[in-house]
Structure 1
Amino acid sequence: MIIVLFAYHRWYRPCIFFVLLTFNIILFLQQTTINLSLLLICTLLYLTYNFILETWVALAFISPGNKKPDLISEGWISHYHNLDSIIHTKSHFDDNIRPLVIIVHGWRSGAISMLGRAKNYLEMGFHVIIFEMPGHGQSEPVSKWTAGHASTTFNQFFSNMSNVFDMNLVNQIYLHGHSMGGFVLLRFSKINNNSEGKYPIAGYVLESPMTCYSQIFKESMETLRIPKFAKNVFWQRLSSHFNFINPKIPDVSNIDEVDVPKWGFIDNNCLVIQAKHDDRLGLEHYQKLVEAQGKYDGNLFEHHLIDDLTHAGARNNSKRDEIIRNWYEKTSNHSDSVKSA
């Protein structure tokens, strides 16, 4: 009960422990009885320990911060979806039967940052939906952001698309995830298992994707200056919060469970496009994904490093767009050959 109390709100638990700690310090300073003082010392140590841990956890659960402005452009329509949280999407459809791509942006980004990518798909003859993750863009703010919640919310959205969009106009579905959006799609691919479902997916495009939370955890340890001896207790407390606020996915206990392939992998056609000089994630996420994906046969898998592609701000990149176009043609031919086999 102590672990889960107020787990949904980032600063509630540190504040509660701080108040209790302050109150006990005042009591301790007023005591003259040795037995009571010893009891208060034990209580103070317990409260201090939990206050420090909960403060670290609160700082680790950073929020998306300032939201990107809405995408306002001809042909783009806003939709609000009442899911686990209220999600905003932008869509660009016409009355023709076409493939559909659903784009999931990266951390602290939004639909407006995906417009360049979306235009490439429109030129390729796609319908386009841009999914704004919880707490981003025009979607509802969340007190405690996790990729687990974003993944299950995207799964809800995907399963109920026909309530909003005319899916009779869609003949194929592709998913494109950038950075954190790629991490969300990796988990979605595991919890959805939709290869034979209501909306079969033809392929995934992962652009400079995050694939290993263990690397982010390591960064958090360094940023918060958490001593190495506290690594295990910090992880245990952090994962307990994650598990409580993500009841729709299996509990996480070991840190390798939030890395590819245990977090998720793409058992489908997959294109990975990576910024060669990634100043945010480096190349380790990319390398681990390529290693994991290379173990699965039967699907079309490609990966490319692009010299002039940046991790953030790359709204337009001709090399990326050309690679996507060529890969899409290959997946179409691959699907036709599989059907005829």
Structure 2
Amino acid sequence: MLFVYHRWTRPTILFALTTICLIICINLASVTARLITLAVILILLYNLVIESWVALAFIAPGKRKKELIAPGWSSQFHNCETIIHTMSYFDNEIRPLVIIIHGWRSGASSMQGRAEHYIRLGFHVIIFELPGHGKSESISKWTAGHASTTFNDFFDRLDDWFDLRLVNNVYLHGHSMGGFVLLRFDRLKSKGENRIKGYILESPMTCYSMIFEESLQTLKIPNFAVSAFWSRLSRHFNKINPRIPDVTDLSEVDTPKWGLIRNNCIVVQAEQDDRLGLEHYYRLIEHQQNVTNYIFEHHLVTSLSHAGARQNTIRDALIESWLDSVKDHSDSA
């Protein structure tokens, strides 16, 4: 398991073996033995390069956001696949609950503005901090697959940690990477899924293939090595995520195969998205609009940015109007 879960274990071992073989090769007298050793060194170097690219592709979230500290909020840790930290705001009234999942390299404090708007609307709120973010446990190889199954564990055990007698309906709000996690969660969900009345996806990531293309450029991987890199990367992903069917093709980590929302859904997209652009949004809309029998809305918001949009009145108004539509539809059903 050490070889699977730690980013630099394989490159370190391969580097050590390559160094040893070089030393041996230098001291060999036989030409044949040297040629055989050189062949072994070339194989080791090839694998060292590939494994180093893979290690670099599994980037860590990095510096954590400051902790959310405000009156009425409670901090709690949950022993899921990874130890997860949440911030929650409950009172003693029966209300709907919204669970918010932040984006990449974000945290509970970044979601405070959105959360406080839901509180003003009469919601209980839970902010779920992704693995390696906020005060949640760190992991060496971060994947959205692991984050999705961890959130699935958390959701299945909500009753263990929160008084759901105070909850009449559940909504899920995912921002950026949080949206990508929720797309997969909708396929994984089991226990308590009848409680979920809708999903709010804000500037969601929907296609890993686009992130993969960015990785190729960042790591300067030559065209002839792309297939080998993807093969090795997907092999690592599959070993880390045994609860997700093996991924062999990039299309399997893009919507719709990665996931779609089979529930009421609103997508609120930053029109000037300087992180993901609009391709993720258009790809999701193309497929999501084919899911019938649910209330679905999608909006491009000029004043909304991808990051740092803790306050945005247009986003909040669109979500509030959609929530009213879902409630009216449920009341009339």
- TM superposition score category, shorter chain reference: over 0.9
* Structure 2 counterpart of 1:245: 240
* Structure 2 counterpart of 1:226: 221
Distance in 2 between residues matched to 1:190 and 1:231, nearest whole Å: 29
Seen in structure 2, the aligned counterparts of structure 1 residues 209 and 168 have a Cα distance that, compared at 3 Å, is same
Letter matched to residue 139 of structure 1 = S
* Structure 1 counterpart of 2:11: 14
Give the CA deviation at 1:60: 0.3
- Of 49, 71, 84, the match for 1:52: 49
Seen in structure 2, the aligned counterparts of structure 1 residues 335 and 315 have a Cα distance that, compared at 3 Å, is same
Instruction: Compare 24-33 and 178-187 and name the one that shifted more.
Output: 24-33
Letter matched to residue 330 of structure 2 = S
Give 3-state SS (helix, strand or coil) of 1:205's partner: strand
- Of 203, 208, 211, the match for 1:208: 203
Distance in 2 between residues matched to 1:206 and 1:223, nearest whole Å: 28
* Structure 1 counterpart of 2:273: 278
Please show how residues 68-87 of structure 1 align to structure 2 within 5 Å.
68-87=65-84
Instruction: Compare 31-40 and 323-332 and name the one that shifted more.
Output: 31-40
- Of 144, 151, 155, the match for 2:152: 155
Please show how residues 1-341 of structure 1 align to structure 2 within 5 Å.
6-193=3-190, 197=192, 199-337=194-332, 339=333
Distance in 1 between residues matched to 2:24 and 2:169, nearest whole Å: 67
Give the CA deviation at 1:27: 1.2
TM-score (norm 1): 0.96
Distance in 1 between residues matched to 2:204 and 2:53, nearest whole Å: 26
Give the CA deviation at 1:200: 2.1
Give the CA deviation at 1:298: 0.7
Give 3-state SS (helix, strand or coil) of 1:49's partner: helix
Distance in 2 between residues matched to 1:260 and 1:116, nearest whole Å: 29
Distance in 1 between residues matched to 2:112 and 2:269, nearest whole Å: 19
Distance in 2 between residues matched to 1:198 and 1:30, nearest whole Å: 66
Letter matched to residue 237 of structure 2 = F
Q: Which runs of 5+ in 1 are unaligned?
A: none
- Residue 85 of structure 2 contacts residue 129 of structure 2 at CA under 8 Å; is this kept in 1? yes
CA RMSD, aligned part only? 1.1
Give 3-state SS (helix, strand or coil) of 2:196's partner: coil
Instruction: Compare 24-33 and 64-73 and name the one that shifted more.
Output: 24-33
Q: Deviations for 1:139-181, whole angstroms, at most 9, x for unmatched residues?
A: 0111111100000000000000111100000000000000000
Letter matched to residue 65 of structure 1 = G
Percent identity at matched positions?
Answer: 59
Distance in 2 between residues matched to 1:199 and 1:301, nearest whole Å: 18
Letter matched to residue 264 of structure 1 = G
Seen in structure 2, the aligned counterparts of structure 1 residues 187 and 320 have a Cα distance that, compared at 3 Å, is same
- Residue 173 of structure 1 contacts residue 199 of structure 1 at CA under 8 Å; is this kept in 2? no
Instruction: Compare 31-40 and 263-272 and name the one that shifted more.
Output: 31-40
Distance in 1 between residues matched to 2:96 and 2:144, nearest whole Å: 27
Distance in 2 between residues matched to 1:265 and 1:58, nearest whole Å: 29
Give 3-state SS (helix, strand or coil) of 2:106's partner: coil
Give 3-state SS (helix, strand or coil) of 1:311's partner: coil
Give 3-state SS (helix, strand or coil) of 1:206's partner: strand
Give the CA deviation at 1:243: 0.5
Distance in 2 between residues matched to 1:193 and 1:205, nearest whole Å: 19
Give the paired residue count: 333
Give the CA deviation at 1:241: 0.5
Give the CA deviation at 1:208: 0.3
Give 3-state SS (helix, strand or coil) of 2:201's partner: strand
Give the CA deviation at 1:32: 2.1
Distance in 1 between residues matched to 2:291 and 2:136, nearest whole Å: 35
Letter matched to residue 267 of structure 2 = V
Give the CA deviation at 1:5: 6.3
Distance in 1 between residues matched to 2:243 and 2:211, nearest whole Å: 23
Give 3-state SS (helix, strand or coil) of 1:202's partner: strand
